[in-house]
Amino acid sequence: MFAFDKQYKSVPKPPRASTEQSSSANRNKPQPQGAPVDVEYSAHAKFLQQMEIYKTLKLAIKRADIGIIRRAFARCCLLFHGSNKSKYAFLSLYMTWITQTPAADQELQHAILANGLVNLRGAEDSWFEMDRLNEFFNLQMKTLMATRRTSSIDVATLFRTTALTASYCTDLKESIEQAFGEHTNSTHTAKDVSDDVRNLAFQIYSSGSIDERKDGRDSPFQPPDIVSRGCALIVNGVIRFNKLVVHGQWTGDELDDSSGLASTSIGVLDDYVTKEPEEDKSNMATLMI
C-alpha cells in the first residue's frame, strides 16, 4: 500500500519538540573560558533559584503537604552547606536521614513530619510550624511577667502557677468578651503587599535588568552561588554526618560551637522550677484564688 522504496531528495523538517531540545542543549553548553558574564542577570537567577525553595516550603507548611516538605529537606541541605550554616546543614541532613531512609519505618516517618505542624483554627490553609507555637507561648509568658509579676512573686513561682493555664485563660477571656459585647483584636493583620510587588516587578522589567546581555554586564552586587558551593561541600558533610550519627562516633567536639549543645542537668532544672520555698506558699495561694 505504501511505497517505502521511493527515495526523497528533501529531508523532512524535524518536529518542533526536537528543535526546542536542540536549542536548549546549545544554551546549556558550558561557556568558553574568558566569555563575558552578565553578572546582574546571574544575580536575578540565583535569587529565583533560592526563593523557589523557600516559597515551596512555605506553601507546603501552610497546606500541611508533608510529601513536599520531605522533598524540601534535601534541597535545604544544599542551601545550608553553601551558606556556611553548619548547624542547620547538620539538622537538614538529620531530617533527610530520618524521613527518607530505612532509619525509620514509614509510620514513624509520617508521624515525625505530621507532628512538626500545628493548626489552631482548623482551616485547610492555616497550618504552621511547631516552633512558631512555642514562640506564641513565650509571648504569653512575657505578657504574664509584665502584667502579674510583683516584688513578692519571682519568675519561677509565677510560671509554675500560670504556665499550664495560660491557654485556658485566653479562651476564657474571649468568652467573657463575647458575653459582654466587648472584643479585643489581638491578631496581627497582614498588610496587602500585592501592589508593592507589582510596582517593583514593573520597575525591574522597565529597567532592563532581567534581560540577558550576551556581551556581559557588571554589577556592584555579586551574590555567591550557594547551590553550586553546596553541591561541592555536601559530600564531606554526608561523610561527617554518617561518622557522627549513623556509625555512632559522636565525640561532642565535632560540631562548631559545641558548647551550645551542652544540656542543663535535670536536677538543676528541677531545683529551679519545682522547688517550692516555704515563704512563697502564701503567695501561691493568693495567685490561685
- Axis-axis angle for helices 66-82, 226-241 (nearest 10): 100
- Domain membership of residue 239 (yes or no) is yes
Residues 170, 92, single domain; the answer is: no
- Domain membership of residue 280 (yes or no) is no
β-bridge mates for residue 129, sequence order: 117
- Domain membership of residue 4 (yes or no) is no
- Domain membership of residue 105 (yes or no) is yes
Distance CA 5, CA 42 (A): 53
- For residue 144, the enclosing domain spans 130-181
The residue ranges of the chain whose pLDDT is under 50 are 1-14, 16-20, 22-29, 255-289
| pLDDT confidence of residue 258 | 43
Backbone angles phi, psi at 143, to 5 degrees: -65, -40
**pTM of the model as a whole:** 0.63
| pLDDT confidence of residue 187 | 64
Residues 96, 144, single domain; the answer is: no
| pLDDT confidence of residue 198 | 93
Residues 42, 171, single domain; the answer is: no
Planar angle of CA 261, 263, 265, nearest 5 degrees: 165
Residues 238, 110, single domain; the answer is: yes
84-101: per-residue pLDDT in tens? 998 999 999 999 999 998
Instruction: Provide the number of structural domains found in the chain.
Output: 2
- Domain membership of residue 208 (yes or no) is no
Residues 139, 172, single domain; the answer is: yes
Residues 231, 95, single domain; the answer is: yes
**Overall size of the chain counted in residues:** 289
Residues 168, 43, single domain; the answer is: no
| pLDDT confidence of residue 170 | 75
User: In this structure, what C-alpha cell is assigned to residue 285?
Assistant: 495561694
Residues 229, 119, single domain; the answer is: yes
- Domain membership of residue 188 (yes or no) is no
Residues 58, 165, single domain; the answer is: no
Residues 92, 151, single domain; the answer is: no
Residue 118 is inside which H or E element, if any? strand 117-118
Residues 113, 233, single domain; the answer is: yes
Residues 81, 121, single domain; the answer is: yes
Distance CA 285, CA 289 (A): 6
- Domain membership of residue 117 (yes or no) is yes
126-150: per-residue pLDDT in tens? 999 998 888 888 887 787 777 777 7
- Domain membership of residue 77 (yes or no) is yes
H-assigned helices in the chain: 16-27, 39-63, 66-82, 86-100, 106-114, 130-148, 155-162, 166-179, 194-207, 226-241, 266-273, 281-288
User: In this structure, what C-alpha cell is assigned to residue 265?
Assistant: 542537668
